Amino acid sequence: MIKKIILIYIFLAFSLQANASFKENIISNLKNTNNIKFFFKQTINEKTEDGECIIEYPKKIYCAYNNLNKKIMVSNGKSLAIKIQNIKQYYVYPLKKTPLEYILDKEYLIKEIKKINPRIIDDKYINFTLINQDNKINIFFNKEDLNLIGWQTEDIYQNLVITFISNIRINQKIDKNIFKLPKMN
């Protein structure tokens, strides 16, 4: 019986040490990241869209969707604009009213990751669940390279939004003008 308890203790100690190592390395990786370019696939209530995005910390994002409407989503760090090109619709939201307020803030991510323990999913992904006010955000990192690979949130209409990212390129040269809110036509 004592041998079993010792074995369980040793197993848990190694497991906790591995999780701490993942956490420290993810934090280090985030600290060294200024921007991320990637392809995305986003599912909202069983409807899937894809495209390409650029995140620049803090709180800036530009996404061009591959759809008939040629939707663009951009944040300048304060507001989030969605422009549907072919029908000239334009929506602007305060960034702080969306979960992207937190996802695009690497200092917030680092602070929260320090406080919580990760979950390993399917021995491939590292997940942190962040809860802030009315927002529950699941952030996922690749267990191999510790890069951000996606998130799960609810949008402002309470729809489940799952975003998976791939072909990640970190700290690329980018045109900062893309983060200007689109002009209304």
Per the CB < 8 A criterion, the answer to whether 109 and 102 are in contact is yes
Among 46, 28, 11, residue whose Cα is nearest residue 113: 28
Average model confidence (pLDDT) for the chain?
Answer: 87
Distance between start and end Cα atoms, the chain: 75
Whole-number pLDDT of residue 15? 45
DSSP assignment of 18-44, as one string?
HHHHHHHHHHHHHHT-SEEEEEEEEEE
- Structure tokens of 89? 């619709």
The per-residue pLDDT for 165 is: 96
CATH superfamily placement of domain 2-179: Lipoprotein localisation LolA/LolB/LppX (2.50.20.10)
pLDDT in tens, 109-150: 999 999 999 999 999 999 999 988 778 899 999 999 999 999
Residue 78 CB partners (closer than 8 Å, separation 6+): 59, 94, 95
Looking at residue 20, what is its pLDDT?
55
